Amino acid sequence: MAHPLTQSDRDLVLSLRKRGTLRDIAQEKIPPLAFVWSCGDGDRFEQLEYLFSLMRGKGGKRTIKPHLFTWNGGPLVLAADSPLEDGRKFAFRQFLAATALKPHIRACIMQGHLICGAADSAELDILSTLRILKQSFLELKRFIDKRSLTQIVFMVCLVHGDYGDGTMRTYEFNIDDFE
């Protein structure tokens, strides 16, 4: 079930955009090969289609090879204090196995969405969802550093919003500019 943004949610997203917390994506930064963390919600598949178009580059010329990690709440399960189902250990084990199987993939793309049904079921509002997403991103970075996964040289965190009127936007989440 889709959870579009309410008017107050839209106002909050606009405020976050004005602050620079959510910003337009620089397409040239998005690599064609990446480990992708995303929610498994089929109602939100367009966020992955859009991400894949970014990965293909201008004119859709690049061959893409996303290695997907998807389940309810997607990357939100990585945060140690996430209220979502505890799949953290499993997710990190899967990622570690994938990096061994796919050493040529040198990037991680973490993508959350607003409003996530799993987050909504856990009574997380937009700001709480973004806090958990930021924590998940930082925990993934720590995991990469702790395991010396030096092959990972690029990481980006994205947020997809459904405005409910057929308009959808994906933003780069500037975690350094968020609490």
Neighbours of 83 (CB within 10 A): 17
pLDDT for residue 1: 52
The CA distance from 21 to 163, in Å, is 18
| DSSP percent split of the chain into helix, strand, coil, nearest 5 | 45, 20, 30
Note whether residue 18 is domain-resident: no
Domain count, the chain: 1
Task: Classify residue 89 as exposed, middle or buried by CB count within 10 Å of its CB (0-12, 13-18, 19+).
Answer: exposed
CB burial readout 108-145, b (16+ within 10 A) else e: bbbbbbbbbbbbeebebebeebbbbbbbbbebbeebbe
115: Cα within 13 Å, side-chain hemisphere? 23
Note whether residue 2 is domain-resident: no
The rounded average pLDDT for each run of 10 residues, N- to C-terminus, in the chain (179 residues) is: 80 95 91 94 81 91 94 91 87 96 97 84 90 96 96 95 81 93
Note whether residue 50 is domain-resident: yes
Q: Tell me, what CATH number does 147's domain have?
A: 3.40.50
Closest CA to 31 of 74, 65, 75, 69: 65
pLDDT for residue 102: 96
Angle at 130 between CA 19 and CA 132, to 5 degrees: 145
Question: Element (H or E) spanning 156, and its range?
Answer: strand 154-162
Note whether residue 75 is domain-resident: yes
Note whether residue 67 is domain-resident: yes
Note whether residue 21 is domain-resident: no
Note whether residue 71 is domain-resident: yes
Domain that holds residue 130: 7-12+28-177
- How far apart, in Å, do the first and last CA atoms of the chain sit? 30
pLDDT for residue 142: 97
Note whether residue 22 is domain-resident: no
